[in-house]
Structure formats: structure tokens, C-alpha cells
Structure 1
Amino acid sequence: MLIPRLSVIIPASNEAGYIGACLTALFASSPINAECIVVANGCRDATAAVAQSYTAQAQAAGWALTVLDLPQGGKPNALNAGDQIAKAALRAYLDADVIVSPNLMAELITALDGNAPLYATGTARIPCAKNAVTRVYARFWQRLPFAQSPAPGYGLFATNAAGRARWGDFPAIISDDTFVRLQFKPDERVQVAATYQWPMIEGFAALTKVRRRQDAGVAEINRLYPGLLAREAKAPLSKARLLALALRDPVGFTIYATVSLAVRRKSGKEWARGR
């Protein structure tokens, strides 16, 4: 059996309602020699069984599919478990609610070719939310410096072998994607043109919960890895720029600001999907 060129690792905790669409899109990718490792962790639903049911579809598409069912939860532990059995030098880490476009995996393989350490991701698209507050928030959020920065990698990031050697096991921290992205300087990050859909969580309360966790994750990285955030390379959100954004989209600014104010009222580390 050929050694796969790409290993796609999908940590999945209680994702039975999402993992099927994720795998369907992944296995519809342009023909490549690849494997997919779904790591169900701490699930109280049928995530592992749903993922396993896609074995025939994976084989028909030329993919190898492995499903791990871990009793304990925790995304870092799931990522490490997937890494331990992955066979390919190129690694992609994919959230279970993300829908990739057909050419994305092939473009990532091309982008990561070479011996120099590299990080790559696709071009994210946020699908239209059902909730009106989330739709407005997402519209404004996509204009902020982070979303506009080079290769932000939310929901999907990939590295070549030299890039993966930049760190050992995934640490037990909140923001694994930020931690990995900041292992690379801006000129080592590549964003390919192929897209993927990254759904934003629905509703004001959920947005507040996720934003609170995101802020806690950034603060944790700053505390544990001093100086790492200097590699972020996003443009500063100056008062002038914020005013310009507010004038362009006053409703979006109001929703975003209200979520920001709500975040400051309470801190927490509970897991939540999306940003």
C-alpha cells in the first residue's frame, strides 16, 4: 500500500450532526493519495459510528479512513492521538463542522511542497447563518484585522514535515490553532485560493461564550509563551480604523461591541464551537 501524501486529522467531540457533511466534502476532493483520521473524543452521541459508516465512501474515493473512539474528551489529546498514527509527512488539521471545496486538499499539498518549514490554509467563507444576530456579527467580524490577516487558519490548517517539527505534542491549551499559526513567521504562512466553509455559531449567548473563550486562549498563550503573539502580523485595530468600520456598518458594530462588552462581564474556559 502506498504511503499517503497527506494525513487529515479531524478531532470530533459530539459532532454526529456535522461529521457526515464534513467527510462527504473531504472525500469529494480532487484525486489525491490521502488518509483521514477521525478522532471521536469524549462523545455522548454517535459521532464515531457516523464517521465509521463512511468507510465505503472513503474507499471508493481512494481515501483511507480510520476512526478512533477515545473515552476522554479534550481537543489537544485528540490531535495528539491522530498524529501518533498518521502516516503522511504532510498533516492537515480539520474541524468537524468545516466543509472543504474539491480542490482545497490538492492545493494545500502543492503549497506545502519543499523542505523549508511551511504552514498553509485555504480561503475561509462563512455561510449565511440562520440567526440574524450571527449574520450581522459575522459580516462585521470578517472585516476585522484578524480575519483579514494572511492565512489565519481558523477551522483548518496544514503543515509540511519541517513545519510540524516546530513543536512536539499539542499542548493542553485552549487555542491550538493560534499556537500552531504562531510557530510560523508571516512569510512562512500560505493561503491558497481554494475555499472552505466555516460556520459561525448561532445566537448572541453562544457568540459571547465563544468570544470569551477565544480571548482567554490568546491571554493563555501570551502568558505561557511570551513573545509568540508578536508573530501575529495582523494590522492594529486603531480608533480611526474602528470608527471607519463602525460608520460603514453601524448595526454590525453595535452587535460586535455588545458581544465584546458581555465578554468582559465573566470569564470561562468551557469548550464552544466556532468563533
Structure 2
Amino acid sequence: MTHQISVLIPAHNEADYITACLRALFASAKHIPPEIPVEVLVAANGCRDDTAARARALLPPEGWHLRVLEQDHGSKTGALNLAEAAARGSILVYLDADVLIEPALLSQIAVALATDDARYVSGTPTVTPARSAFTRAYAAFWTQLPFVRNGVPGFGLFAMTRAGRARWADWPDIISDDTFARLQFAPTERLRLPGRYQWPMVEGLRNLVRVRRRQDRGVQQIATLYPGLFRNDDKIRVTALGLAALARRSPLGFLAYGVVALCVRSPFFASREDRRKDWVRGR
């Protein structure tokens, strides 16, 4: 049985990123057997720029199909629901519009999810080199944390079988869609693949604090609305000894990480963006 791949890309004002994202994705074609159908669905939601036009301007690889869907309001989960309604694949790949995947990763996903069972996979994340020295230091430390280094976090990119996606109905209006999806699967159903992808981290202290606060609220939202999902949480916690070892290897990174953690708990850094419920970024 041939398993078709559907790549779903929610995009809100991503004109500066969508072309590079799609070109990196299309470079995967040389690793995908021609008998495996691939469709790419860009769900442009609430865009005030030319994201949709830039996506439509690209020619997909031979045998691939590209569709650009549009909705007036900006909502990442709404965009996911829109794209899923049009998707025909038995393998669903969820890709953020500012993420660049390496050519071999999509084929690894296809092999890992060529099953009728419920399965969830992601690749090996790398952080796109930042312009800010503070963000570079923070990222150097953060990427060494056990959950990022050895877990299956799924931020920016995750994929699943149709059987796995059948575990819930429409995407709810939540902040942390990647956490919600990951926790639908038991640890034994999740797999980290060696193929890498580049994920951008926001620039500067204030943006890092804002995004970290939002991430924390997203996890708390899921814990409140869907507490049963946390039976599947196997997030690896760093011990005091492990933290000390990381600090010795990256003292500047440890300092940056600690400053962000302290600021996250400070009311001084509360902002209008923190209280918003729509999909926002801190670039």
C-alpha cells in the first residue's frame, strides 16, 4: 500500500520566510520514491502581506501538488483545521512556515509512518544562527537540555499517521498545538528521526521572555483543559548535577538562560502580547 504524504503549512504574514521554507521542502523530492504522492497545502490565514502570492509563484517538483488555501482571520489552529479538511494523505506532516528541513528528513518521515498504526515522529532540531549575541548564548545552552537533545519535542515540525490524528476532532483553540499533538501519543509511539531541521529562535531578551511566558501559558492551558494528556508526558527534567555540568560547559549560556527564567516570573515583563490569545511570534 502506498502512503500519500500531505505537508500542512500554516502561514500568517510569512512572506519573508515562505519561499525558503518551500524551496527546502521541495529539495526533498530527490529522496522520495516517485510512486509516493506528495501534496503541500499552505494555509495562509489572516495575512496582510503577499504570503499566498509568493507560495503560488513556486513550481513544485514533478509529481508533487501545491495548493494555497486562504482564510480571512489569523488563527494557527484554524489554519490547521482548514488544511486538514483538504488533505488527502495518510501521512500528515505539520511544518511551520519559518522552518527549513534537510532534504533527507521527509523520506525518513515517510518510512517511519508507513503504517496503519498510530505513530508520531519529528526530526532533530537545530537552531538557526541568531543575530543577537544574547539569543546565541541562550540557544547554545537551551539546545543541550535533555528534552531538546534527546526527546521528541516537535516544535516547528511534527508528523503523524491518520490513525494517530483520529484521536481528537478539530484542533481546539489553544496556544501550544505542538505540545497538544505530542501528548496524544504514548512515549512508545513517538520517534525522533536523525534528519535535521532548522528552527528560528526569537531575537533578544524581551522577545525570549515573551515567548517563554507564552509557552508556559500554553502548557498550563493544556494541563487545565486536558489533564489526562499528561499521562503521556516523558519530558526529561534536568537534575541539579546535570545543570551544573551544563553551566560549566556554557557559562554564558547558563547566565542567559537564568536571566530569561527570572524575567519570565517578573511582572515587569508582562505585556499586551502576553495577554493575546491569537497566534503571535516574537521575531
Tell me the CA shift for residue 216 of structure 1: 0.6
Distance of 1:106 and 1:245 partners within structure 2: 34
- Three-state SS of the structure 2 residue aligned to 1:133 is helix
Q: Give the fraction of aligned pairs with identical amino acids, expressed as a percent.
A: 50
- Three-state SS of the structure 1 residue aligned to 2:194 is strand
Q: Is the 8 A contact 2:3 2:114 kept in 1?
A: no
Q: Which residue of 1 aligns with 2:104?
A: 103
After the TM superposition, which residues 72-91 of structure 1 pair with which residues of structure 2 at under 5 Å, given as runs?
A: 72-91=73-92
Q: Which residue of 2 aligns with 1:28?
A: 27
Q: Which residue of 2 aligns with 1:41?
A: 45
Structure 2 letter corresponding to 1:51 = A
Of 238-247 and 21-30, the range deviating more from structure 2: 238-247
Q: Deviations over 1:146-199 (max 9, x none)?
A: 212422111000001111111111110000000000000111001111111111
Distance of 1:237 and 1:230 partners within structure 2: 19
Distance of 1:26 and 1:35 partners within structure 2: 11
Distance of 1:265 and 1:230 partners within structure 2: 30
Q: Which residue of 2 aligns with 1:239?
A: 240
Q: Which residue of 2 aligns with 1:13?
A: 12
Q: Which residue of 2 aligns with 1:273?
A: 281
Q: Which residue of 1 aligns with 2:186?
A: 185
Tell me the CA shift for residue 228 of structure 1: 2.0
- Three-state SS of the structure 2 residue aligned to 1:153 is coil
Q: Which residue of 1 aligns with 2:139?
A: 138
Q: 1:237 to 1:93 in 2, by over 3 A?
A: same
Distance of 1:70 and 1:163 partners within structure 2: 26
Q: Does 1:67 align with 2:68?
A: yes
Tell me the CA shift for residue 122 of structure 1: 1.1
Q: Deviations over 1:70-107 (max 9, x none)?
A: 11011000000000000111100000001111111111
Q: Is the 8 A contact 1:27 1:61 kept in 2?
A: no
Q: 1:103 to 1:43 in 2, by over 3 A?
A: same
Q: Which residue of 2 aligns with 1:213?
A: 214
Of 246-255 and 203-212, the range deviating more from structure 2: 246-255
Tell me the CA shift for residue 241 of structure 1: 2.3
Aligned length: 270
Q: 1:221 to 1:149 in 2, by over 3 A?
A: farther
Q: Deviations over 1:108-143 (max 9, x none)?
A: 010012222100111111122111111000000011
Distance of 1:260 and 1:136 partners within structure 2: 14
Tell me the CA shift for residue 20 of structure 1: 0.3
Distance of 1:168 and 1:148 partners within structure 2: 31
Distance of 1:79 and 1:178 partners within structure 2: 15
Indicate the RMSD between aligned Cα atoms, in angstroms: 1.7
Q: Which runs of 5+ in 1 are unaligned?
A: none
Q: TM-score normalized by structure 1?
A: 0.93
Of 170-179 and 246-255, the range deviating more from structure 2: 246-255
- Three-state SS of the structure 1 residue aligned to 2:174 is coil
After the TM superposition, which residues 102-121 of structure 1 pair with which residues of structure 2 at under 5 Å, given as runs?
A: 102-121=103-122
Q: Is the 8 A contact 1:149 1:233 kept in 2?
A: no
Structure 2 letter corresponding to 1:273 = R
Structure 2 letter corresponding to 1:35 = E
After the TM superposition, which residues 120-269 of structure 1 pair with which residues of structure 2 at under 5 Å, given as runs?
A: 120-266=121-267, 267=270, 268-269=274-275
Q: Is the 8 A contact 2:8 2:41 kept in 1?
A: yes
Of 70-79 and 139-148, the range deviating more from structure 2: 139-148
Tell me the CA shift for residue 4 of structure 1: 7.2
Q: Which runs of 5+ in 2 are unaligned?
A: none
Tell me the CA shift for residue 221 of structure 1: 0.8
Q: Is the 8 A contact 2:151 2:236 kept in 1?
A: no
